[in-house]
Each structure stands twice: as structure tokens, then as C-alpha cells.
């Protein structure tokens, strides 16, 4: 992958706007790769700080990359709320200028912008594309079940399941105060969620309310979309075999209200083991692979909480460090330099023979390795798919957002992992023991891998992408 400075393509250009985070840029780049093979010329647009971070392994790609200013201070925070403010106040103006320029160049024999694909978390870009008169498709980077949960917010508000601030209030106490009792299950067949597991319930009370407003605004903007491409397999939720493609589309959309987009499950995009798949923001420590060669088969625990470890906190990092040491199991732990200050004194020296602590790992290569026995994860969607693809059972410690939905499927529906309640020594060791000694979990992984990663699932995802492209060409 390369920051292309060459002239942009002349035909069938698709502008792609991912949310500026590793877990969203990666699947958008994977989708871009799939579109290249359909004759399109994708142009991935990110804010400058992301554009600089992308660390390619392969410079040979037909995907182009452009950046726009975000208006944020160079040394300022780039958390969820800072990025939201930047998208609404600065990036929208710059993106509109870019889209208009690329679209209008067509009149002078330049590019032909046929569509803008927008990550729903960047809903500002939906309005930009509409103002520019360009067809726009939504993109959902995670599991379809998580989208269904977000799309059900109007229903939850109407039925009183959640309050106007997004707090669960299914029942009332004797004093008439809204309280939540029990669990939520919006769509039949989905695992139940607890009162703190909804995707917007992160951080302080004010933060939770702001996130809930963010999702309501996102739903309002996305109601104008005709298409929604989802990084999910139609096989994840199917309860019965259905061989008619049009009927499958109707089943996938059965639970969605009429004013929401038409859903096309084109994933999991991690199967596109092509150049864009390896778009990372950090340099990968390839010495992991040499270290793994010296370990026994299925003995190593791989630990990674993705690119967003901050909600875990320094105290839990210390607890996990001691738990890994006490387990006596070999491990690879992905832990950024800024978080190592919280490690116990002398820790890295003590565990130097037992484990390997790295800032970033070549995750797919690590998970594929026969020495790795299980994966301790936050249940991010990309990591979940990669674990299924590489047939590794999961020890789950979800932290925020869609991770609780993913964890529910991992543990209760697919039965390919266990959830632990904390990162203390007892919790961690019990989790390791259960997944490494449960033969049925291996069988479940084999079946699930075949169902959502096999030839039939790939054909189904391809058919959905073809249906979208055919509809786009007619628009």
C-alpha cells in the first residue's frame, strides 16, 4: 500500500470514507481491494494524522489514498469526542471540496465518481455526498447483529426499553424510578445483553448521553441511504438453509424498518488476504514469528486488546501482567510503550524467557502459527474474524461498544470461547484452562469456520457484492 501521488484514475472511481481508527480503516481497505477486482478505482480518504500512520507492507496496489485536514491540534487529543467534533466542524468542508473537485473533473475528461462509500460512524459524509449529487452507500465495519441493535434504538425509545438519555429502564421500582431488570434481546436468536452492554454506555454519564445522541444522529442521516454494505457473513445468523439469493436478501432485511438501508452482508472481509489487508498504523514486530518457532504446538497464549487499550486502565494492565506470569504459560502480549509504565518493576526482565511483549504484532501470522493455542481478546470484530479464520479459541474480556455483542455470539451462540469476569490470576487461568482443554470448542471452531469462511459463504458474500454493484450501475 502506498500514499499515491500519481494522477487519480479516470474511470469508475469510488470514494471511500472510513472512520479514522485502525479497526475501521482495515476493513474499508479490504473492501476497496474487493472493488478493485470488480473494475473500480477506490480512493480512500482519511484525515492527515491517519494518512501518515498507515504502515504498508506492499506498495503494489490499485487503491489510491488522499488526506483531508481535521482541524485538530498536532499534540491534542484524538479521542471519540475530539474526532466527532473534527468531522462535523472541519472535515465535512474539506471532504466536500475534494468530492466536488473529483466529481467535476469528469467534465474535463477526468475522474468518474460513481459512488461514495461512507462508514456509518462518519455520517457527516452522507450529507456531503448528497450535496454533491453523488450516490452514497453506507458501510458497517462490524457485525450485522451490532447494526441491528443500533437500528433498534427508535423501537427501544418507543417501548420505553431505554430512556431519552439511552439508559436502560425496562421496569419501575416501587418509587416509580426507571430501573433495568433482566436482559435485552431485540432480534430473535441474538444473545441477550445486560444493562451495561449497550454500545453507547461507555465512560461518564455525560459521555454516555453524548454517544447516544451520536447514534440517533447517525440513524437519522443513514435513513436516506439505499445501500448498506456490512462486514459480516449472512451465515452468522441464518437459522435455516436458503439457496435462493433474492430470498436470502429478504431474510437478512426482515427485521429492519422500511426507511433503513438495504443490507448487503459482504464479509467477513478479512478473507481478502490481499495487499490492503495489511494496512496497519504501527510497525509490526516480526520477531514474534521467530520466537514462536521455538515453542511447543498449541502452548502459547496470544494477548491483544487491539489498538484501543485505554478503557482497560493501568490497574488492570498490572493485574493481567501478574496473571500471565503466574500462569507459567508462554505468551505473546501486544502492549504499547505508553502502557508499559504500569507494569510491575522488573517485569519485562522476569518474563523474558517465558513471554514476549511487543508494541504491535503481525496478528494473522501469529494466529495462524501452530504454536498458538488460544487468544485473550477484547472481542473486536476484526480480531474475532481473524481468530475464526485461524481456528483459535477465544478467552473474552469485552471492554466497550460492539464487543459485548460479539462476545455473546462467541460464548453463547457459536461456543468458541469463554468470557472472564476480570483480569486477576484466577480469572485468567480458568479461562486459559477451559479453552485449551475443551475439545468441543475445537469442533465448534471447525464447523463455524466452514460455515462463514468456506466456499459457500464466500460465494454468498460475492453474490451480495454483485447485487450491490448491479444496482449501483443502474442508478
Q: Please give the mean pLDDT across all residues of the chain.
A: 85
Q: What would the grid cell of residue 360 be?
A: 504491535
Instruction: Report the pLDDT averaged over residues 5-11.
Output: 53
pLDDT tens-digit profile of 239-253?
A: 444 445 554 444 445
pLDDT at residue number 3: 37
CA–CA distances in Å: residue 409 to residues 56, 191, 414, 417? 32, 6, 6, 9
Domain contains 384: yes
What residue spans of 6-143 are helical by DSSP H?
22-36, 48-53, 80-86, 92-104, 124-131
pLDDT at residue number 236: 78
Domain contains 93: no
Domain contains 382: yes
Domain contains 125: no
Who has greater pLDDT, 126 or 191? 126
Who has greater pLDDT, 236 or 17? 17
Lowest-pLDDT choice from 145-159, 215-229, 355-369: 145-159
Lowest-pLDDT choice from 102-116, 208-222, 408-422, 433-447: 102-116
Task: Give the predicted TM-score (pTM) of the model.
Answer: 0.88
**pLDDT > 70: percent of the chain:** 83
What residue spans of 122-256 are helical by DSSP H?
124-131, 144-151, 153-159, 205-222, 245-252
* Residue 303 predicted with pLDDT over 90: yes
Sheet holding 372-377, edge to edge: 355-358, 331-334, 300-304, 372-377, 394-396, 417-419
Which residues constitute the domain of residue 356? 286-452
Domain contains 329: yes
Alpha-carbon span 148 to 142, nearest angstrom:
11
* Residue 457 predicted with pLDDT over 60: yes
Instruction: Report the pLDDT averaged over residues 140-166.
Output: 90
Domain contains 290: yes
pLDDT tens-digit profile of 16-36?
A: 999 999 899 999 999 999 999
* Residue 418 predicted with pLDDT over 70: yes
Domain contains 28: no
CATH label of the domain that carries residue 334: 3.40.50.2000
Who has greater pLDDT, 416 or 6? 416
Sequence-separated (6 or more) residues with CB below 8 Å from residue 177 = none
* Residue 181 predicted with pLDDT over 70: no
* Residue 8 predicted with pLDDT over 60: no
CA–CA distances in Å: residue 97 to residues 77, 91, 221? 26, 10, 20
* Residue 200 predicted with pLDDT over 70: yes
Q: Is there a contact between 37 and 16 (Cβ–Cβ < 8 Å)?
A: no
pLDDT at residue number 121: 97
CA–CA distances in Å: residue 423 to residues 200, 253, 314, 326, 376? 23, 39, 12, 12, 10
Identify the band that residue 172 occupies on the pLDDT scale cut at 50, 70 and 90: very low
Alpha-carbon span 244 to 248, nearest angstrom:
6
Q: What would the grid cell of residue 186 be?
A: 431485540
Give first-to-last CA distance, the chain, whole Å.
31
Domain contains 205: no
Question: How many structural domains are present in the chain?
Answer: 1
Instruction: Report the pLDDT averaged over residues 299-317.
Output: 82
CA atoms 434, 435, 436, 442: torsion sign: positive
Identify the band that residue 339 occupies on the pLDDT scale cut at 50, 70 and 90: confident
Who has greater pLDDT, 104 or 90? 90
Amino acid at each position: 500500500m502506498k500514499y499515491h501521488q500519481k494522477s487519480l484514475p479516470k474511470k469508475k472511481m469510488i470514494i471511500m470514507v472510513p472512520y479514522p481508527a485502525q479497526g475501521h480503516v482495515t476493513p474499508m481497505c479490504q473492501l476497496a481491494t474487493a472493488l478493485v477486482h470488480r473494475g473500480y478505482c477506490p480512493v480512500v480518504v482519511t484525515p492527515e494524522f491517519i494518512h501518515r500512520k498507515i504502515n504498508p507492507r506492499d506498495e503494489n496496489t490499485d487503491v489510491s489514498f488522499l488526506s483531508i485536514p481535521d482541524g485538530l491540534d498536532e499534540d491534542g487529543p484524538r479521542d471519540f469526542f475530539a474526532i466527532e467534533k473534527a468531522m462535523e466542524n472541519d472535515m465535512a468542508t474539506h471532504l466536500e471540496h475534494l468530492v466536488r473537485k473529483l466529481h467535476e473533473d469528469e467534465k474535463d475528461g477526468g475522474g468518474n465518481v460513481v459512488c461514495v462509500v461512507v462508514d456509518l460512524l462518519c455520517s457527516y459524509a452522507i450529507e456531503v455526498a448528497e450535496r454533491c449529487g453523488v450516490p452514497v452507500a453506507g458501510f458497517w465495519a462490524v457485525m450485522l447483529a451490532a447494526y441491528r441493535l443500533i437500528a433498534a434504538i427508535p423501537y427501544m425509545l418507543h417501548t420505553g426499553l431505554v430512556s431519552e438519555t439511552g439508559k436502560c429502564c425496562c421496569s419501575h421500582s416501587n418509587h416509580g424510578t426507571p430501573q433495568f431488570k433482566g436482559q435485552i434481546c431485540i432480534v430473535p436468536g441474538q444473545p441477550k445483553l445486560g444493562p451495561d452492554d449497550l454500545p453507547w454506555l461507555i465512560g461518564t454519564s455525560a459521555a454516555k448521553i453524548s454517544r447516544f445522541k451520536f447514534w440517533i444522529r447517525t440513524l437519522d442521516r443513514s435513513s436516506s441511504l439505499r445501500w448498506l454494505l456490512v462486514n459480516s457473513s449472512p451465515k452468522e445468523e441464518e437459522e435455516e438453509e436458503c439457496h435462493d439469493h433474492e430470498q436470502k436478501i429478504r431474510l437478512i432485511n426482515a427485521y429492519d424498518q422500511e426507511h433503513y438501508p438495504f443490507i448487503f452482508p459482504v464479509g467477513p472481509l478479512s478473507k481478502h488476504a490481499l495487499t490492503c489487508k495489511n494496512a496497519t498504523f504501527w510497525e509490526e514486530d516480526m520477531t514474534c514469528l521467530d520466537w514462536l518457532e521455538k515453542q511447543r504446538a498449541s502452548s502459547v497464549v496470544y494477548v491483544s486488546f487491539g489498538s484501543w487499550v485505554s478503557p482497560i486502565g493501568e490497574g488492570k494492565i498490572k493485574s493481567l501482567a501478574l496473571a500471565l506470569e503466574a500462569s507459567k504459560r508462554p505468551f505473546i502480549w501486544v502492549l504499547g510503550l505508553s502502557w508499559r509504565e504500569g507494569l510491575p518493576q522488573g517485569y519485562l526482565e522476569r518474563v523474558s524467557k517465558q513471554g514476549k511483549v511487543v508494541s504491535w504484532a503481525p496478528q494473522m501470522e501469529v494466529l495462524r502459527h501452530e504454536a498458538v493455542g488460544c487468544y485473550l481478546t477484547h472481542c473486536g470484530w476484526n480480531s474475532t474474524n481473524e481468530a475464526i479464520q485461524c481456528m483459535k479459541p477465544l478467552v473474552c474480556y469485552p471492554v466497550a461498544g460492539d464487543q459485548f455483542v460479539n462476545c455473546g455470539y462467541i460464548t453463547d451462540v457459536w461456543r468458541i470461547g469463554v468470557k472472564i469476569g476480570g483480569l486477576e490470576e484466577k480469572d485468567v487461568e480458568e479461562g486459559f484452562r477451559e479453552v485449551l482443554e475443551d475439545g468441543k470448542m475445537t469442533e465448534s471452531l471447525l464447523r463455524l469456520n466452514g460455515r462463514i469462511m468456506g466456499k459457500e459463504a464466500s460465494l454468498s458474500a460475492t453474490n451480495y457484492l454483485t447485487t450491490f454493484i448491479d444496482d449501483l450501475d443502474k442508478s
